[in-house]
Amino acid sequence: MDWTSPLWYASYILVLIGLAGYGSHRLTIVFLYLKHSRNHPKPKELFKDLPLVTIQLPVFNEMHVVDRLLASVSAMDYPQDKMQIQLLDDSTDETVDICRAGIEALKARGFDAEHIHRTDRTGYKAGALENGTRFAKGEYLLILDADFVPNPDLLQKTIHYFTDDKIGMIQTRWGHLNRTYNVLTRIQAMFLDGHLELEQTARNRSGRFFTFNGTGGIWRKSCIADAGGWEHDTLTEDMDLSYRAQLKGWRFIFLNEVETPAELPVDMDGFKSQQHRWTKGSIQVCKKVLPAIWRADVPLFIKMEATAHLTSNFAYLLLIILCFLIYPNQQAQPDFGKFTYYIINVPIFFFSSVSVIVFYMVSQKALRPGSWWKEIPYLPLLLALGIGMSISNAKAVLEALFNHETAFVRTPKYGIGQVKRHDWKKSSYKAMKTLTPFVELLFGFFFLFVVVEAAMKSNWSSAILLLPFPIGFFYTSLASLARMLPSGSAAPAAEAANRKAP
C-alpha cells in the first residue's frame, strides 16, 4: 500500500468532518425552528397615535425599478402625514432624472418626499443610509432596496412592536416576485427560504442573535446611534450593525408571517456578484465582531451560534479543498474493510449532505404546506448550484481574509414583471465579468472525467454521489459564459440551463 494513501484519506475525512459540522448546525437550526414554531411574537401594546416613519430607499442606477418602488411605497396603508420618504440616490445614469421626476410627482400628491442625490459614493449603501439618517424626521426608519415591492399593510403589521422600548429592529421575511421565472430563480428562492424561514425564525425565537437582512425591516433611529451608526468598513453593513446593536443590549424581532416581496436575480452573473458580496462581507464582519462577541457578557449558547453563523462561509473553502482531495482519495484509498468504511462514511454523509436536504425541505413544507413536494425535483440542482458557486465564494472568503479591497458591486435589477420576458437581456446593466467561469469550466471537465472513470470501474455509488460536481460547475460556468456572447447569440445549452421553471 502506498504510504501516502492514509495521508490523503485522513485529509479527505478531516475536510468532510468540517463540512459535516456545518451540516449538523443546520439540523440544530431545524430543531430550534420546530421547537419554537408556535412562539409567535406579539406587540407589547398598540400605538394610540401612530408615529412618524421615515422610509429610506437607497438606490444606485436602478432605472428599471424605481417607479415600481415609489408606486408601492406611496400605496402603503399608513397616514400620509406620518410618512417621510427619502430617495437616497447615488446613481450616475438616467436613474437620477427618473428619481427626481418620481419624487416631484409624490410631492404634488402631498407626500413629504425628498430626493437626496450624492455624487460621492463614499461608504456606498452604508454611506447613503448614514447621510439620509441625518435628515430623517422619524424615530423609525423603514429601509427598502430598489427591487422590493412592499405590501400595503407592511407598516401596520410591524410598527406596533416598537411600543416595547427595548426593541431596536423589526425584520420581515422576503418574498419572491419572480420565483418561477427560471430554474435559477427557483433555486435561489429555496436558498433564501431556508435562511429566512428557518434560520432567522429559529435564532430569534430561541433567544439567539440574528441579523437585519439589509432591507425589508424597520430600525429605531436611537438604536442605530447607540450602536455606533452605519459603518462602511465591510460589504455587509447590515450584519455589522446588527451584531453591534445586540451586543449593546437591543432586542430584535423577526416576523416570518409578514412577507415583503422582492425581485430575484435572473442571470448567473447577477447571482454570483450578490453572493460574492454577501460571502465576503460576512467574513469581514466575522473578523470585526467575533472577538467582541466572545468577550461579551452573554450566554455561551449565544456565542456558539454567532460563531457558527459568522464562520459558515468557510465551508466554501472546505468544499474547494475537498475538490482537490476527491480524486487522489479514490485512487489510493486504504482498505480498512467494508464495516469500517461504512462506520466512518455514513455519519459524515448524513451530516454533510442529507442535512442540507432536510433543511430546505422543512422550509418549503413550512411556507408551502400544500405544494412543498413540487420543490423536490429542484433539490439535486440546489446541491449542484451550491457546489458550482464554491469557486466564486471561496475567492470571496480569501479576499476578506487577506484584506483585499473591492467596491460594493450592486446586483442588476431589471423590473421583471414589468417588461417582456427576455427584455432584460438588452439592458445596459450587467454584472462584472471575471475569469471565474473559465476556472469553473475546467473543474466541470475534471469532475466529468472523475465521474466517468468511477462508472467505468463499476463504482456506481461514487459516480452518483459525485454527479452534482460536474453539473454544478458546468451550470455556473456556461450560464456566465453565455452572457459574454453578443445579445441573441447565447449558447443553446446555457439557455436550456436557465429555461423557465414549471
* b/e code 249-286 from CB counts within 10 Å (16+ = b): ebbbbbbbebbbbbbbbbbbbbbbbbbbbbbbbbbbbb
Does residue 314 lie in a domain region?
no
Task: Print pLDDT tens along the chain (502 aa).
Answer: 454 567 888 888 899 899 999 999 999 999 999 999 999 999 999 999 999 999 999 999 999 999 999 999 999 999 999 999 999 999 999 999 999 999 999 999 999 999 999 999 999 999 999 999 999 999 999 999 999 999 999 999 999 999 999 999 999 999 999 999 999 999 999 999 999 999 999 999 999 999 999 999 999 999 999 999 999 999 999 999 999 999 999 999 999 999 999 999 999 999 999 999 999 999 999 999 999 999 999 999 999 999 999 999 999 999 999 999 888 877 766 665 665 556 666 777 777 788 999 999 999 999 999 899 999 999 999 999 999 999 999 999 999 999 998 777 777 787 875 544 445 565 656 655 678 999 999 999 999 999 999 899 888 888 888 999 999 999 999 999 987 776 544 444 444 444 444 4
In a domain, 385, yes or no: no
Task: For residue 219, give every residue at least 6 positions away whose Cβ sits within 8 Å of its Cβ, in sequence order, or none.
Answer: 140, 141, 143, 168, 169, 212
**102 belongs to a structural domain:** yes
Annotation says 238 is catalytic: yes
φ and ψ of 83, to 5 deg: -125, 135
- The count of domains in the chain is 1
Q: Exactly one of 112, 147, 193, 238 is catalytic; which is it?
A: 238
Judge whether 249 lies within some domain.
yes
The whole-model pTM stands at 0.91
Verify whether residue 97 is a known catalytic residue.
Answer: no
Q: What are phi and psi of 164, to 5 degrees?
A: -90, 115
Report yes or no on 130 lying in a domain: yes
Show the domain range for 148: 49-189+200-267
- The Cα 67–Cα 18 span in angstroms is 46
CATH number at residue 258: 3.90.550.10
Q: Are 470 and 433 in contact (CB under 8 A)?
A: no
Asked if residue 67 belongs to a domain, the reply is: yes
**In angstroms, rounded to a whole number, what is the distance separating the alpha carbons of residues 113 and 70?**
10
Closest C-alpha among 395, 403, 432 to residue 271: 432
C-alpha cell at 457: 470501474
Q: Which member of 89, 90, 112, 269 is catalytic?
A: 90
The dihedral sign for the CA sequence 75, 76, 80, 86: negative
Residue 342 placed within a domain: no
Are the beta carbons of 241 and 231 closer than 8 angstroms?
yes
| Helix axes of 268-295 and 468-484: crossing angle, nearest 10 degrees | 120
The answer as to whether 7 is a domain residue is: no
